[in-house]
Amino acid sequence: MRHAMERAVIVGPDRAADLVQSQLGARTELLGAISFAIDQLTIGTESTTAQAVS
């Protein structure tokens, strides 16, 4: 995959994107779903906190 990609990128092989394996493995998308759910929460005094910060 890397070899084919490096041959075809305009920037050339030296500046091509790093190609790495996922670190979270088979659970990557499940953990993403959990993060996404937490992102949607309005927690406790979130609006009050925003005022306190500003």
Question: What whole-number distance in Å separates Cα of residue 29 and Cα of residue 14?
Answer: 30
| Amino acid at position 13, single letter | P
Number of residues that bind another protein (CB under 8 A): 43
Taking the complex as a whole, how short is the minimal distance between the CB of residue 49 and another protein, in angstroms? 7
Residues 1-40, one symbol each (x = binds another protein by CB under 8 A, - = not), give xxxxxxxxxxx----xxxxxxxxxxxxxxxxxxxxxxxxx
Question: What whole-number distance in Å separates Cα of residue 7 and Cα of residue 2?
Answer: 9
Taking the complex as a whole, how short is the minimal distance between the CB of residue 23 and another protein, in angstroms? 4
Query: Positive or negative CA dihedral for 22, 14, 7, 3?
Result: negative
List of residues contacting another protein (CB under 8 A): 1-11, 16-41, 43-45, 49, 52-53
